[in-house]
Structure 1
């Protein structure tokens, strides 16, 4: 058993994937080309935006947007405290300051009340200039984007939706990666839509931003890559990865998103009353990059992990350390009391196997192991 079963997925779509890769090799068009163009068009149509700009990975996607927005030293960018390191890293890479905000205990996403408080506090201090918010669609569940947009508009802030885990999720039918001024996603293999290496994409309705991003990602090109009008980077999605994603996007839209939500419901039925299970707000759909339970203590989590080890069931802790405690951010000032929820989550969360190819027997084995560990 694995956390994300890429082998079963490959075996099911082996012919399509192998043929797609072989076509690229036969064409010898390894950078750009039809596969990339087709993928970008399909992704933009699926999400419901005008532009999709593919790039090397999800971290680069966020970096490119911050470059295009000229986020720089002296700027404050508001980031959830409970997320993967890259969301704050890209801010510091631009020499701006990430301001970490505690999250909502039920959804794991940025707490919008605490977000507005953090913005007001930053304005009152007068040291940094608030410029942007990067809400994360954690574990596949979209953040509270409509409220975040209200706050951003009130304080004239840009929004970059970090949809690295959220692709396929939605709120009242509006897809993840369509919120804010721009959005990004990751095609890391374990993501809801993953390739066979690194890959990422940016989504926006802003024509001007799309033009700048397409320049930045290819060495700041103008008319072509030998006409360089700005300092850029080299951040392109490989054609082979685009070919793989074009096959996998079919599977994702045809059944995988539905399948993970069916498994979510089965997990919840079997675990309700035993552990604190994920709760999806009304009108929301999660793409379940992870299925994450909350335990009463780190000791209880350890007992479940020991039981899992006996039965060869994998598990992961996302995340073992809050952003504000990462050594890379040790130069920042903070109050521990501002991160009560995140600290508690880091001590008590546990992610269990979640993917479209889990069988009913797998689910029974996993949930029985949890029940046995908790009740004994």
Structure 2
């Protein structure tokens, strides 16, 4: 039976990425060696990281003055690297979910943090609006997509100060005006590659303005200077990322991906909104097109475990909601085919009919 992979991360990858990565594990670039054992200094791997860098710049239309880095440590490492490199006295943060909370906690180790707005009181079911960003802050940080709660900011905020975004779970799903940002970071394990590499897009002139001494490995300038090769980079995830980037380019780029993602999300949200049994948890105007979160209406609550079992019998994996929200979560990243979304909708309708 075909498996429909709705895991939130590590998550579905395109067949193109999986097949090409598997081939490279056996024989990388005709070297007779595996990508798992090749030197990161070899001309074959240097070509991989250079092409990946170039494709990120091309697909996201990154202007001059920015560097693309491939780093370890996940987005969680960026929670401290950002303030280490950018926070002198005060930073402003938007609190929209678990990962924003974690980023705020780390930033407080480096200076004052002004939480400009929060949706915590409503279990992060919406994105706050109408807040004021203090102009004396060193930067404003937001999390563009909240995987656990299914909310998303599909726009680039206007600020008079430096702008930083955690785009781990929705990068490459919409065009972004990179020129508005000073740092964008994204763990690869949602829309790009297996876990193990993090993409960081950094404006070079944003660096070097803090008073503190920064440890070598945590200084963005170290990695800019060495082209992400200061230490051994995560070669396999970078190779997989390159395959995904090539696949995105073949499909037609970011605008094509966005159109596909919006269409998939609309199919699923339409089924939820027209259901007698299921209901969405995020406010409609802030719904994510990457992570669709929903529960059963109060009178059907006790059937949730049964639906999980039924969905599993239909080949669905990873649709159980995060423990802090409950219910269900369908992660429908770029690699998710429309047919899998349609299969989930069919399972929901069949279950509803039976009960």
Partner of 1:132: 139
Indicate if the aligned counterparts of 2:207 and 2:221 stay in contact, CA closer than 8 A: no
| RMSD (CA atoms) | 4.5
Partner of 1:46: 59
The DSSP-based 3-state class of the residue aligned with 1:202 is: strand
Indicate if the aligned counterparts of 2:85 and 2:208 stay in contact, CA closer than 8 A: no
Q: Does 1:58 align with 2:68?
A: no
In the alignment, the residues of structure 2 paired with residue 10 and residue 26 of structure 1 have an alpha-carbon distance, to the nearest angstrom, of: 19
Flag the 1:8–1:93 CA change in 2: closer, same or farther, 3 A: farther
User: Any gaps of 5 or more consecutive residues in structure 1?
Assistant: 124-128, 228-233, 322-345
Flag the 1:77–1:270 CA change in 2: closer, same or farther, 3 A: same
Q: Does 1:102 align with 2:119?
A: yes
User: Any gaps of 5 or more consecutive residues in structure 2?
Assistant: none
Indicate if the aligned counterparts of 2:168 and 2:187 stay in contact, CA closer than 8 A: yes
In the alignment, the residues of structure 2 paired with residue 159 and residue 217 of structure 1 have an alpha-carbon distance, to the nearest angstrom, of: 24
Farther-moved stretch of structure 1 (41-50 vs 241-250): 41-50
The DSSP-based 3-state class of the residue aligned with 1:192 is: coil
Partner of 1:168: 172
Indicate if the aligned counterparts of 2:87 and 2:139 stay in contact, CA closer than 8 A: no
The DSSP-based 3-state class of the residue aligned with 2:168 is: coil
- Within 5 Å, give how 1:127-276 maps onto structure 2: 130-138=137-145, 143=153, 145-146=155-156, 148-149=157-158, 152-153=159-160, 157-170=161-174, 174-175=175-176, 179-188=180-189, 191-194=190-193, 196-204=194-202, 206-209=203-206, 218=217, 237-255=233-251, 257=257, 259-274=260-275, 275-276=278-279
- Within 5 Å, give how 1:291-306 maps onto structure 2: 291-293=292-294, 296-297=297-298, 300=300, 303-306=303-306
In the alignment, the residues of structure 2 paired with residue 352 and residue 142 of structure 1 have an alpha-carbon distance, to the nearest angstrom, of: 14
Indicate if the aligned counterparts of 1:55 and 1:201 stay in contact, CA closer than 8 A: yes
Q: Does 1:70 align with 2:87?
A: yes
Q: Does 1:79 align with 2:89?
A: no
Deviation, 1:145, is 4.1
Flag the 1:176–1:306 CA change in 2: closer, same or farther, 3 A: farther
In the alignment, the residues of structure 2 paired with residue 95 and residue 168 of structure 1 have an alpha-carbon distance, to the nearest angstrom, of: 32
Farther-moved stretch of structure 1 (6-15 vs 42-51): 6-15
Indicate if the aligned counterparts of 1:160 and 1:182 stay in contact, CA closer than 8 A: yes
